[in-house]
Structure 1
């Protein structure tokens, strides 16, 4: 059997608790960025390509369940167990506004035009905040039948899709009428729902199944059974020919989109994987885990199977390089802490 070169992932330390959400910005004139949510209450911003730490958003007093960046990567938003969602200046790290809720906020999402912020959580209410008038009362639309787990915008901000923590299905709200117009049926609770970059597909993970739905007609396009319970899945954005999924077995599985065949597997995390996302150009993907780390994996010739993901000739050099990068990140964090 030919030896295949294994590229070690970039390991991003910094969070002290599990990483529960990841979000990549679109590509901007300054590159692209990755923001992470963690139960340690401090979202972090990184260079999306290198994984280098840029800054930490400090101000929440409870676990942060969701995070996102606007399309220009100038502002970030976060949803927290401290009953608030916060809007941040992504350049300075300052809190621009805190939107108070009456219970845990589990999800947040910027509208495509960046003027609106959508939130949802344990209150079962979807709220739309006008970021041009942040002090104004939010628009509240028809209640979710269960606690909100995930939220996303669709159809140029005309449709909202959301899933619940305690029941199956993905519900679609018409923003104009504020009512649920359709439900994509699933047996298990949907823990991850992603709209593809080209707007063609909705990718969902529910239990041990990953499904792809037509984002315009809402029919089920593909359904694949997974080797374990998967908490998150993401479709490759450039060619749409592969997807990744991560969950209970701590591995990042790579599958062929057209056949569902497993074409790769990456080991490294020491706890269940809670979130996986492709970078906007598809050249890499990130995973966040119960172990508190983020790992950034390069997209390339995939391994044949999990068993193939063994040591390679140059692994020591790669590990040393990654270790040096990690050390630089930690030094930067220490310097920042000392300066505060």
Structure 2
């Protein structure tokens, strides 16, 4: 499996996202310019210029026409994917951390960080079909729990929003009333900050990664813990294969403690686990710093990782990978 190395960012990567067709890959980084690449050969297509701070996250509409990005410059922006034109800017009073389009792309959930005395919050915005009709009004604002919310994603049928963050609890909110419906059990929950949260293709389960060196698989409806995957370093990013019963975790020590060890000790590999057996099946090395972002191509035949080293690494699986037996 020979990786394709993509160097388009000056600063550490923060997020990766494929479009639904799997032919485009979008990358966000602590530099200000989200970038789009061809997903098969890693060729850079273009950048989206307009943010003045680190871009933490992005999402792409199902028809690949719109991109939404969230940034530390206290805005979330809607873009025309093809032309790179900014269509609309949502302004907030604190940095934007997470964005997610609903199924059908008519709504977006945007989370904002605690800032200058303001608590973290979850905002639901209506996304207009015509950018001319777009407004910045929130349909609903949920005042969040203590600490930062690192990820918020839509639950099944857009009825709920699932969030996770610094207080290490996963919460399910009613997307119409804003009522808190469920919280993950304290005993089963992560013990440290939840860094990442992703849902299965069919929406039936969720995978969370945490600085407590574990990832956990949850039932989307009941928030019951299904499986726990233990690793020996903080987990910054998680992804689930849409094709096989595999999950991949990425992370590593934080950058400050890495300089004293060599890159082999930093444990910066993407680790693959069997979803049901929770056993490690292999790892992919290559980054010279912690992995901050992971994404599977929707066809399940390739995946990409983004690191603190500023590189995106694109891996197309060899046939052997599909024949792994445990």
Instruction: Give the TM-score taking structure 2 as reference length.
Output: 0.86
Distance 1:225 1:136 in 2: 42
Q: How do 1:189-200 and structure 2 match up within 5 A?
A: 189-200=193-204
- What CA distance in whole angstroms lies between the structure 2 residues aligned with 1:271 and 1:216? 36
| SS of structure 2 residue aligned to 1:223 | strand
- Cα distance, 1:176–1:295 mapped onto 2, change above 3 Å: same
1:237, 1:282 within 8 Å by CA — same for their partners in 2?
yes
Judge conservation of contact 2:111–2:121 (CA < 8 Å) in 1. Answer: yes
1:285 aligns with 2:303: yes
Q: SS at 1:151's partner residue?
A: strand
Structure 1 residue 137 corresponds to structure 2 residue 124:
no
| CA deviation string 1:132-191 (max 9, x = no partner) | 142251123321113221111111211111112x31111111112111111123211110
Indicate yes or no: 2:8 matched with 1:11.
Answer: no
Contact kept, 8 Å, 1:198 with 1:237, in 2: the verdict is no
Give the direction of change, closer, same or farther, for the CA distance of 1:112–1:232 in structure 2 (3 Å limit): same
Question: Contact conserved, 2:91 with 2:136, CA < 8 A, in 1?
Answer: no
Q: Is the 8 A contact 2:161 2:175 kept in 1?
A: yes
2:150 maps to: 149
- 1:185-207 Cα shifts (integer Å, max 9, x gaps): 32111101001112121011112
User: Which of 73, 85, 88 does residue 94 from structure 1 map onto?
Assistant: 85
RMSD of the alignment, in Å? 1.5
- The gaps in structure 2 that reach 5 residues or longer are 115-119, 253-266
Q: Distance in 1 between matches of 2:62 and 2:97?
A: 21
Contact 2:73 2:95 in 1 (8 A): yes
Q: Following TM superposition, by how much is the alpha carbon of 1:40 offset from its aligned partner in structure 2, in angstroms?
A: 0.4
Contact preservation (8 Å) 2:196, 2:238: yes
Return the alpha-carbon distance in structure 1 between the equivalents of residues 69 and 136 of structure 2.
Answer: 19
Contact kept? 1:57, 1:93, Cα under 8 Å: yes
Select the residue among 211, 216, 219 that pairs with 2:221: 216
Residue 245 in 1 paired to residue 261 in 2? no
* Match 1:256 to one of 257, 274, 277: 274
Q: How far apart are 1:302 and its partner, in Å?
A: 4.6
User: After the TM superposition, which parts of structure 1 deviate over 3 Å for at least 4 consecutive aligned residues?
Assistant: none
Report 1:44-123 matches (<5 A). 44-123=35-114
Question: Could you tell me how far apart the structure 1 residues matched to 2:183 and 2:304 are?
Answer: 29
Equivalence map 1:21-32=2 (5 Å): 21-27=15-21, 32=23
* Range with greater deviation from structure 2 (39-48 or 121-130): 121-130
Q: Please, what TM-score do these two structures have when normalized by structure 1? A: 0.83
Deviations 1:291-336 (A, max 9, x none): 0010111234359xxxxxxxxxxxxxxxxxxxxxxxxxxxxxxxxx
Unaligned runs of 5+ in 1: 1-6, 304-340
Structure 1 contact 10–51 (Cα < 8 Å) conserved: yes
3-state SS of 2:28 partner: strand
CA–CA distance in structure 2, aligned partners of residues 144 and 136 of structure 1: 20
* Counterpart in the other structure of 1:183: 183
Is contact 2:198-2:239 (8 Å) kept? yes
Aligned residues: 292
In terms of Rg, which structure is larger?
Answer: 1
State whether residues 37 and 43 of structure 1, in contact with CA within 8 Å, keep that contact through their aligned partners in structure 2.
Answer: yes
